[in-house]
Protein backbone atom coordinates (compact mmCIF):
# COMPACT_ATOMS: atom_id res chain seq x y z
CA UNK A 1 0.00 0.00 0.00
CA UNK A 2 1.52 3.37 -0.98
CA UNK A 3 2.61 5.46 1.98
CA UNK A 4 4.31 8.86 2.13
CA UNK A 5 5.90 8.54 -1.29
CA UNK A 6 6.86 4.86 -0.86
CA UNK A 7 5.02 2.39 -3.06
CA UNK A 8 5.99 -1.25 -2.51
CA UNK A 9 3.79 -2.30 -5.42
CA UNK A 10 6.23 -0.76 -7.91
CA UNK A 11 9.31 -2.53 -9.21
CA UNK A 12 12.63 -1.57 -7.63
CA UNK A 13 14.81 0.16 -10.23
CA UNK A 14 18.29 -1.37 -10.17
CA UNK A 15 20.26 0.81 -12.60
CA UNK A 16 24.08 0.93 -12.50
CA UNK A 17 25.49 3.68 -10.30
CA UNK A 18 28.39 4.57 -8.05
CA UNK A 19 29.21 2.55 -4.94
CA UNK A 20 28.87 4.43 -1.64
CA UNK A 21 31.74 3.73 0.77
CA UNK A 22 31.47 4.73 4.45
CA UNK A 23 34.80 4.72 6.31
CA UNK A 24 34.54 3.73 9.98
CA UNK A 25 30.98 4.97 10.53
CA UNK A 26 30.37 5.45 14.24
CA UNK A 27 26.59 5.04 14.54
CA UNK A 28 24.28 2.41 13.11
CA UNK A 29 21.61 5.08 12.78
CA UNK A 30 23.77 7.02 10.31
CA UNK A 31 24.34 3.90 8.22
CA UNK A 32 20.59 3.25 8.08
CA UNK A 33 19.83 6.86 7.17
CA UNK A 34 22.49 6.76 4.42
CA UNK A 35 20.92 3.56 3.05
CA UNK A 36 17.54 5.27 2.99
CA UNK A 37 19.00 8.21 1.06
CA UNK A 38 20.57 5.81 -1.42
CA UNK A 39 17.25 4.04 -1.96
CA UNK A 40 15.53 7.37 -2.58
CA UNK A 41 17.76 8.02 -5.56
CA UNK A 42 18.36 4.59 -7.01
CA UNK A 43 21.76 3.65 -5.55
CA UNK A 44 22.06 0.06 -4.40
CA UNK A 45 25.66 -0.78 -3.42
CA UNK A 46 26.91 0.15 0.05
CA UNK A 47 30.35 -0.75 1.40
CA UNK A 48 31.37 -0.29 5.03
CA UNK A 49 34.99 -0.03 6.19
CA UNK A 50 35.41 -1.19 9.81
CA UNK A 51 32.11 0.11 11.29
CA UNK A 52 32.52 0.99 14.99
CA UNK A 53 29.39 -0.85 16.07
CA UNK A 54 28.71 -4.53 15.41
CA UNK A 55 27.15 -5.54 12.12
CA UNK A 56 24.33 -6.35 11.34
CA UNK A 57 22.89 -3.47 13.36
CA UNK A 58 19.26 -3.21 14.53
CA UNK A 59 19.33 0.60 14.75
CA UNK A 60 20.60 0.84 11.19
CA UNK A 61 17.66 -1.24 9.98
CA UNK A 62 15.25 0.93 11.94
CA UNK A 63 16.61 4.16 10.41
CA UNK A 64 16.64 2.66 6.92
CA UNK A 65 12.81 2.88 6.96
CA UNK A 66 12.35 0.02 4.53
CA UNK A 67 15.61 0.18 2.55
CA UNK A 68 16.36 -3.36 3.73
CA UNK A 69 17.50 -4.49 0.30
CA UNK A 70 20.57 -2.23 0.58
CA UNK A 71 21.41 -3.31 4.13
CA UNK A 72 21.01 -6.98 3.24
CA UNK A 73 23.69 -6.61 0.57
CA UNK A 74 26.19 -4.46 2.50
CA UNK A 75 29.86 -5.39 1.81
CA UNK A 76 32.28 -5.22 4.77
CA UNK A 77 36.00 -4.37 4.44
CA UNK A 78 38.87 -3.97 6.87
CA UNK A 79 40.53 -1.11 4.98
CA UNK A 80 39.64 1.57 2.45
CA UNK A 81 42.31 0.22 0.08
CA UNK A 82 40.46 -3.08 -0.04
CA UNK A 83 37.08 -1.35 -0.43
CA UNK A 84 38.16 0.55 -3.56
CA UNK A 85 40.54 -2.03 -5.01
CA UNK A 86 38.22 -2.89 -7.92
CA UNK A 87 37.25 0.73 -8.67
CA UNK A 88 38.56 2.67 -11.68
CA UNK A 89 37.38 6.09 -10.48
CA UNK A 90 37.02 7.31 -6.89
CA UNK A 91 35.69 10.59 -5.44
CA UNK A 92 36.59 11.53 -1.86
CA UNK A 93 33.84 13.57 -0.16
CA UNK A 94 35.28 16.04 2.34
CA UNK A 95 34.53 19.48 3.76
CA UNK A 96 38.24 20.22 4.44
CA UNK A 97 40.98 21.28 2.06
CA UNK A 98 43.69 18.60 2.13
CA UNK A 99 46.26 20.55 0.08
CA UNK A 100 46.46 17.81 -2.53
CA UNK A 101 46.84 18.41 -6.25
CA UNK A 102 43.53 16.87 -7.24
CA UNK A 103 40.53 18.31 -9.08
CA UNK A 104 37.99 19.76 -6.64
CA UNK A 105 34.41 19.40 -7.87
CA UNK A 106 30.87 19.80 -6.62
CA UNK A 107 28.26 17.03 -6.50
CA UNK A 108 26.81 17.75 -9.95
CA UNK A 109 30.24 17.81 -11.61
CA UNK A 110 31.22 14.62 -9.80
CA UNK A 111 28.13 12.90 -11.20
CA UNK A 112 29.07 13.94 -14.73
CA UNK A 113 32.65 12.68 -14.24
CA UNK A 114 31.46 9.31 -12.95
CA UNK A 115 28.79 8.79 -15.62
CA UNK A 116 31.09 7.73 -18.50
CA UNK A 117 32.86 5.19 -16.27
CA UNK A 118 29.55 3.72 -15.09
CA UNK A 119 28.26 3.61 -18.67
CA UNK A 120 31.40 1.65 -19.66
CA UNK A 121 30.62 -0.96 -17.00
CA UNK A 122 33.37 0.14 -14.64
CA UNK A 123 33.03 0.35 -10.85
CA UNK A 124 33.25 3.86 -9.40
CA UNK A 125 32.94 4.93 -5.75
CA UNK A 126 32.19 7.94 -3.59
CA UNK A 127 33.98 7.72 -0.25
CA UNK A 128 32.66 9.39 2.91
CA UNK A 129 34.68 9.73 6.12
CA UNK A 130 34.00 9.43 9.81
CA UNK A 131 31.30 11.52 11.47
CA UNK A 132 33.81 13.14 13.83
CA UNK A 133 36.78 14.04 11.61
CA UNK A 134 36.07 12.87 8.07
CA UNK A 135 38.78 11.37 5.86
CA UNK A 136 42.49 11.30 6.60
CA UNK A 137 45.07 12.63 4.10
CA UNK A 138 46.22 9.16 3.06
CA UNK A 139 42.58 8.17 2.39
CA UNK A 140 42.01 11.23 0.22
CA UNK A 141 45.21 10.31 -1.63
CA UNK A 142 43.47 7.18 -2.95
CA UNK A 143 40.88 9.26 -4.80
CA UNK A 144 40.92 10.68 -8.33
CA UNK A 145 39.12 13.86 -7.31
CA UNK A 146 37.86 15.68 -4.22
CA UNK A 147 34.11 16.20 -3.91
CA UNK A 148 33.01 19.10 -1.72
CA UNK A 149 29.88 21.22 -1.32
CA UNK A 150 29.27 24.98 -1.15
CA UNK A 151 28.29 25.32 2.52
CA UNK A 152 28.48 27.90 5.27
CA UNK A 153 32.23 28.02 6.09
CA UNK A 154 31.44 28.67 9.74
CA UNK A 155 29.34 25.48 9.89
CA UNK A 156 30.57 23.18 7.14
CA UNK A 157 30.05 19.78 8.76
CA UNK A 158 27.12 17.82 7.36
CA UNK A 159 25.49 14.79 8.89
CA UNK A 160 26.75 11.68 7.09
CA UNK A 161 23.35 10.81 5.58
CA UNK A 162 22.82 14.44 4.51
CA UNK A 163 26.07 14.37 2.54
CA UNK A 164 25.10 11.05 0.93
CA UNK A 165 21.66 12.30 -0.07
CA UNK A 166 23.08 15.35 -1.89
CA UNK A 167 25.50 13.24 -3.90
CA UNK A 168 22.85 10.60 -4.62
CA UNK A 169 20.37 13.28 -5.70
CA UNK A 170 22.78 14.82 -8.19
CA UNK A 171 23.56 11.39 -9.62
CA UNK A 172 19.88 10.47 -10.03
CA UNK A 173 19.06 13.87 -11.50
CA UNK A 174 21.75 13.40 -14.16
CA UNK A 175 20.69 9.83 -14.91
CA UNK A 176 16.97 10.69 -15.20
CA UNK A 177 17.49 13.85 -17.22
CA UNK A 178 15.86 15.86 -14.40
CA UNK A 179 12.50 14.33 -15.29
CA UNK A 180 10.01 14.76 -12.43
CA UNK A 181 7.90 11.75 -11.40
CA UNK A 182 4.57 13.48 -12.04
CA UNK A 183 3.13 16.69 -13.44
CA UNK A 184 0.02 18.79 -13.04
CA UNK A 185 -2.92 16.89 -14.60
CA UNK A 186 -4.57 18.52 -17.60
CA UNK A 187 -8.22 17.83 -16.83
CA UNK A 188 -9.60 20.49 -19.14
CA UNK A 189 -8.50 21.86 -22.49
CA UNK A 190 -7.35 25.49 -22.77
CA UNK A 191 -10.19 27.96 -23.20
CA UNK A 192 -10.79 29.00 -26.79
CA UNK A 193 -10.84 32.70 -27.62
CA UNK A 194 -14.54 32.42 -28.40
CA UNK A 195 -15.23 31.26 -24.84
CA UNK A 196 -12.99 33.98 -23.40
CA UNK A 197 -14.76 36.69 -25.38
CA UNK A 198 -18.15 35.44 -24.21
CA UNK A 199 -16.89 35.54 -20.62
CA UNK A 200 -15.53 39.07 -21.08
CA UNK A 201 -18.87 40.21 -22.48
CA UNK A 202 -20.67 38.70 -19.49
CA UNK A 203 -18.44 40.20 -16.80
CA UNK A 204 -18.33 43.61 -18.50
CA UNK A 205 -22.12 43.62 -18.77
CA UNK A 206 -22.46 42.99 -15.04
CA UNK A 207 -19.81 45.61 -14.20
CA UNK A 208 -21.64 48.09 -16.37
CA UNK A 209 -24.74 47.62 -14.24
CA UNK A 210 -22.88 48.77 -11.14
CA UNK A 211 -21.12 51.63 -12.98
CA UNK A 212 -17.65 50.13 -12.56
CA UNK A 213 -16.19 51.74 -15.66
CA UNK A 214 -15.73 55.28 -14.39
CA UNK A 215 -14.72 57.82 -15.50
CA UNK A 216 -15.94 57.18 -19.05
CA UNK A 217 -12.69 58.31 -20.69
CA UNK A 218 -10.82 55.47 -18.93
CA UNK A 219 -13.35 52.79 -19.86
CA UNK A 220 -11.32 51.35 -22.75
CA UNK A 221 -8.13 51.12 -20.69
CA UNK A 222 -9.97 49.50 -17.79
CA UNK A 223 -11.51 46.91 -20.12
CA UNK A 224 -8.13 46.06 -21.65
CA UNK A 225 -6.51 45.71 -18.22
CA UNK A 226 -9.36 43.51 -17.02
CA UNK A 227 -9.10 41.25 -20.06
CA UNK A 228 -5.33 41.01 -19.72
CA UNK A 229 -5.69 39.79 -16.12
CA UNK A 230 -7.63 36.74 -17.25
CA UNK A 231 -5.63 36.22 -20.45
CA UNK A 232 -2.36 36.01 -18.47
CA UNK A 233 -3.88 33.18 -16.46
CA UNK A 234 -4.13 31.01 -19.60
CA UNK A 235 -7.40 29.59 -18.23
CA UNK A 236 -8.89 26.24 -19.20
CA UNK A 237 -12.46 25.76 -20.33
CA UNK A 238 -13.39 24.58 -16.84
CA UNK A 239 -11.73 27.67 -15.32
CA UNK A 240 -13.87 29.97 -17.45
CA UNK A 241 -17.04 28.02 -16.66
CA UNK A 242 -16.29 28.28 -12.94
CA UNK A 243 -15.47 32.00 -13.15
CA UNK A 244 -18.62 32.63 -15.13
CA UNK A 245 -20.65 30.84 -12.45
CA UNK A 246 -18.99 32.92 -9.73
CA UNK A 247 -19.78 36.18 -11.51
CA UNK A 248 -23.42 35.23 -12.09
CA UNK A 249 -23.83 34.04 -8.49
CA UNK A 250 -22.56 37.40 -7.23
CA UNK A 251 -24.71 39.30 -9.71
CA UNK A 252 -27.95 37.35 -9.24
CA UNK A 253 -27.61 36.07 -5.68
CA UNK A 254 -28.25 32.57 -4.37
CA UNK A 255 -31.23 30.65 -5.68
CA UNK A 256 -31.95 29.33 -2.20
CA UNK A 257 -33.52 31.29 0.68
CA UNK A 258 -30.28 32.77 2.01
CA UNK A 259 -30.31 35.74 4.30
CA UNK A 260 -28.86 38.97 3.04
CA UNK A 261 -31.22 39.57 0.10
CA UNK A 262 -32.25 42.95 -1.18
CA UNK A 263 -35.33 43.10 1.08
CA UNK A 264 -35.84 42.00 4.66
CA UNK A 265 -38.58 39.56 5.64
CA UNK A 266 -41.29 42.19 6.22
CA UNK A 267 -40.50 43.99 2.98
CA UNK A 268 -40.52 40.67 1.11
CA UNK A 269 -44.01 39.95 2.46
CA UNK A 270 -45.19 43.37 1.24
CA UNK A 271 -43.70 42.63 -2.19
CA UNK A 272 -45.67 39.38 -2.42
CA UNK A 273 -48.87 41.08 -1.36
CA UNK A 274 -48.41 43.70 -4.06
CA UNK A 275 -47.72 41.07 -6.70
CA UNK A 276 -50.72 39.02 -5.58
CA UNK A 277 -53.01 41.97 -6.29
CA UNK A 278 -51.62 42.05 -9.84
CA UNK A 279 -52.13 38.40 -10.57
CA UNK A 280 -48.78 37.22 -9.13
CA UNK A 281 -46.93 38.75 -12.01
CA UNK A 282 -48.82 36.71 -14.56
CA UNK A 283 -47.68 37.46 -18.11
CA UNK A 284 -49.60 35.15 -20.50
CA UNK A 285 -47.44 35.69 -23.58
CA UNK A 286 -43.98 36.53 -22.18
CA UNK A 287 -41.67 34.16 -20.30
CA UNK A 288 -38.82 36.58 -19.62
CA UNK A 289 -40.54 38.84 -17.06
CA UNK A 290 -41.94 35.84 -15.20
CA UNK A 291 -38.49 34.28 -14.87
CA UNK A 292 -36.96 37.58 -13.80
CA UNK A 293 -39.64 37.95 -11.14
CA UNK A 294 -38.98 34.41 -9.94
CA UNK A 295 -35.30 35.25 -9.41
CA UNK A 296 -36.28 38.38 -7.47
CA UNK A 297 -38.57 36.35 -5.19
CA UNK A 298 -35.91 33.70 -4.64
CA UNK A 299 -33.49 36.38 -3.45
CA UNK A 300 -36.05 37.86 -1.05
CA UNK A 301 -37.80 35.10 0.91
CA UNK A 302 -40.21 35.80 3.73
CA UNK A 303 -39.34 34.39 7.15
CA UNK A 304 -42.02 31.69 6.81
CA UNK A 305 -40.76 30.69 3.41
CA UNK A 306 -37.15 30.50 4.62
CA UNK A 307 -38.02 28.33 7.63
CA UNK A 308 -40.28 26.01 5.62
CA UNK A 309 -37.66 25.57 2.89
CA UNK A 310 -34.95 24.64 5.37
CA UNK A 311 -37.26 22.11 7.02
CA UNK A 312 -38.29 20.70 3.64
CA UNK A 313 -34.77 20.13 2.30
CA UNK A 314 -33.56 18.65 5.61
CA UNK A 315 -36.42 16.14 5.94
CA UNK A 316 -35.48 12.71 4.57
CA UNK A 317 -39.07 12.02 3.57
CA UNK A 318 -38.73 14.52 0.74
CA UNK A 319 -35.28 13.52 -0.47
CA UNK A 320 -35.31 13.09 -4.23
CA UNK A 321 -38.62 14.89 -4.69
CA UNK A 322 -36.90 17.70 -6.57
CA UNK A 323 -38.61 20.62 -4.85
CA UNK A 324 -37.76 24.07 -6.21
CA UNK A 325 -38.48 27.56 -4.88
CA UNK A 326 -40.19 30.45 -6.64
CA UNK A 327 -40.24 28.73 -10.00
CA UNK A 328 -42.49 29.58 -12.97
CA UNK A 329 -45.12 26.94 -13.71
CA UNK A 330 -46.71 28.07 -16.93
CA UNK A 331 -47.76 31.72 -16.41
CA UNK A 332 -47.67 31.45 -12.61
CA UNK A 333 -44.92 31.57 -10.00
CA UNK A 334 -45.28 28.90 -7.31
CA UNK A 335 -43.76 29.11 -3.83
CA UNK A 336 -42.61 25.47 -3.93
CA UNK A 337 -43.02 22.95 -6.74
CA UNK A 338 -41.95 19.38 -7.42
CA UNK A 339 -42.16 18.83 -11.17
CA UNK A 340 -41.51 15.06 -10.95
CA UNK A 341 -44.47 14.66 -8.55
CA UNK A 342 -46.51 17.56 -9.98
CA UNK A 343 -47.08 18.91 -6.49
CA UNK A 344 -47.27 22.61 -5.53
CA UNK A 345 -47.04 24.09 -2.03
CA UNK A 346 -48.74 27.47 -1.88
CA UNK A 347 -48.27 29.89 1.04
CA UNK A 348 -51.49 31.83 1.50
CA UNK A 349 -51.34 35.11 3.47
CA UNK A 350 -53.51 35.39 6.57
CA UNK A 351 -55.14 38.50 5.08
CA UNK A 352 -55.47 39.31 1.39
CA UNK A 353 -57.62 41.53 -0.77
CA UNK A 354 -60.47 40.23 -2.88
CA UNK A 355 -58.39 40.80 -6.00
CA UNK A 356 -55.51 38.78 -4.61
CA UNK A 357 -57.85 35.99 -3.44
CA UNK A 358 -59.38 35.80 -6.93
CA UNK A 359 -55.92 35.63 -8.54
CA UNK A 360 -54.94 32.84 -6.17
CA UNK A 361 -58.09 30.88 -6.99
CA UNK A 362 -57.41 31.27 -10.70
CA UNK A 363 -53.85 30.00 -10.19
CA UNK A 364 -55.11 26.95 -8.28
CA UNK A 365 -57.65 26.24 -11.01
CA UNK A 366 -54.97 26.48 -13.70
CA UNK A 367 -52.67 24.15 -11.78
CA UNK A 368 -55.48 21.62 -11.22
CA UNK A 369 -56.31 21.68 -14.93
CA UNK A 370 -52.71 20.78 -15.66
CA UNK A 371 -52.68 17.87 -13.20
CA UNK A 372 -50.88 19.64 -10.35
CA UNK A 373 -51.98 18.91 -6.77
CA UNK A 374 -51.86 21.99 -4.52
CA UNK A 375 -51.15 21.93 -0.78
CA UNK A 376 -52.11 25.33 0.66
CA UNK A 377 -50.40 26.43 3.87
CA UNK A 378 -50.80 29.57 5.93
CA UNK A 379 -48.01 32.13 5.48
CA UNK A 380 -48.63 33.44 9.01
CA UNK A 381 -47.51 31.63 12.16
CA UNK A 382 -46.93 28.15 10.75
CA UNK A 383 -46.55 24.85 12.57
CA UNK A 384 -43.64 23.35 10.63
CA UNK A 385 -44.18 19.78 11.84
CA UNK A 386 -47.87 19.91 10.92
CA UNK A 387 -47.10 21.52 7.56
CA UNK A 388 -44.57 18.82 6.67
CA UNK A 389 -47.04 16.15 7.70
CA UNK A 390 -49.62 17.60 5.27
CA UNK A 391 -47.06 17.61 2.47
CA UNK A 392 -46.08 14.01 3.27
CA UNK A 393 -49.75 12.98 3.26
CA UNK A 394 -50.25 14.65 -0.12
CA UNK A 395 -47.23 12.85 -1.50
CA UNK A 396 -48.49 9.54 -0.18
CA UNK A 397 -51.96 10.07 -1.64
CA UNK A 398 -50.53 11.15 -4.99
CA UNK A 399 -48.31 8.06 -5.09
CA UNK A 400 -51.33 5.82 -4.47
CA UNK A 401 -53.24 7.51 -7.33
CA UNK A 402 -50.44 6.73 -9.79
Q: Is 319 or 136 the better-scoring residue by pLDDT?
A: 136
Q: Does 1.10.8 match the CATH number of domain 193-252?
A: yes
Q: Is 8 or 21 the better-scoring residue by pLDDT?
A: 21
Kindly state the average pLDDT of the residues 207-234: 90
pLDDT for 257 equals: 44
pLDDT for 283 equals: 47
| Cross-strand partners of 337 | 324, 344
* CA atoms within 13 Å, Cβ hemisphere of 247: 19
Superfamily of domain 265-401: VSR Endonuclease (3.40.960.10)
pLDDT at 13 over 80: no
pLDDT for 256 equals: 47
Read off the pLDDT of residues 241-285 as tens digits, 9 standing for 90 and up. 899 888 888 877 655 444 444 555 566 666 666 666 555 444 444
Query: CA triplet 93, 98, 101: central angle to 5 degrees?
Result: 95
pLDDT at 10 over 80: no
Distance of CA 170 to the CA centre of its chain: 30
Read off the pLDDT of residues 308-317 as tens digits, 9 standing for 90 and up. 888 888 888 8
> In angstroms, rounded to a whole number, what is the distance separating the alpha carbons of residues 253 and 299?
6
Read off the pLDDT of residues 207-217 as tens digits, 9 standing for 90 and up. 888 888 888 88
pLDDT at 291 over 80: no
pLDDT for 41 equals: 92
> In angstroms, rounded to a whole number, what is the distance separating the alpha carbons of residues 40 and 20?
14
> In angstroms, rounded to a whole number, what is the distance separating the alpha carbons of residues 192 and 236?
8
Burial of 338 (0-12, 13-18, 19+ CB in 10 A): buried
Q: Is 400 or 90 the better-scoring residue by pLDDT?
A: 90
- Give domain limits for the chain: 19-176, 193-252, 265-401
Crossing angle for the helix pair 237-252 and 193-209, to the nearest 10 degrees: 20
pLDDT for 128 equals: 97
DSSP characters for 325-380?
EEEEETTEEEEEEETTTTEEEEEE-SS--HHHHHHHHHHHHHHHHTT-EEEEEESS
Q: Which of 21-25, 292-296, 362-366, 383-387 shows the lowest mean pLDDT across its residues?
A: 292-296
**Main-chain dihedrals φ then ψ at residue 133, nearest 5 degrees:** -135, 15
Across all residues in the chain, what is the average pLDDT?
A: 84
pLDDT for 348 equals: 84
Q: What percent of the chain has pLDDT over 70?
A: 83
Kindly state the average pLDDT of the residues 356-370: 88
Helix (H, G, I), strand (E, B) or coil at 239: helix
pLDDT for 94 equals: 94
Kindly state the average pLDDT of the residues 26-54: 94
Q: Is 369 or 262 the better-scoring residue by pLDDT?
A: 369
pLDDT for 269 equals: 66
Quick one: fold of 19-176? Alpha/beta knot (3.40.1280)
pLDDT at 372 over 60: yes
pLDDT at 163 over 90: yes
Split at pLDDT 50, 70, 90, the class of 162 is very high
Kindly state the average pLDDT of the residues 6-34: 86
Q: Which of 124-133, 192-201, 237-246, 352-361 shows the lowest mean pLDDT across its residues?
A: 352-361
Kindly state the average pLDDT of the residues 203-230: 90
Crossing angle for the helix pair 265-277 and 354-369, to the nearest 10 degrees: 80
Read off the pLDDT of residues 146-158 as tens digits, 9 standing for 90 and up. 999 999 988 988 8
Amino acid sequence: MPGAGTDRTKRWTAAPGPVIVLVEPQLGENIGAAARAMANFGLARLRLVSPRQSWPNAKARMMAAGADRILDNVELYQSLEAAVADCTFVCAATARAHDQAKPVVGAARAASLMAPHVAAGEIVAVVFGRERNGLENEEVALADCILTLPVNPAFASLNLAQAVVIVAYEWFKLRSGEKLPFAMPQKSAPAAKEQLLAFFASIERELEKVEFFRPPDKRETMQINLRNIFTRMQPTRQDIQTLHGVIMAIAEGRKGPARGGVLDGEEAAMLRALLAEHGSGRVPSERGPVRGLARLLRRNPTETERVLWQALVNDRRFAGCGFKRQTPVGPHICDFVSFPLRLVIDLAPTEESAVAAKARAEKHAWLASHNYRVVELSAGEIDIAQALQRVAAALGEQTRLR
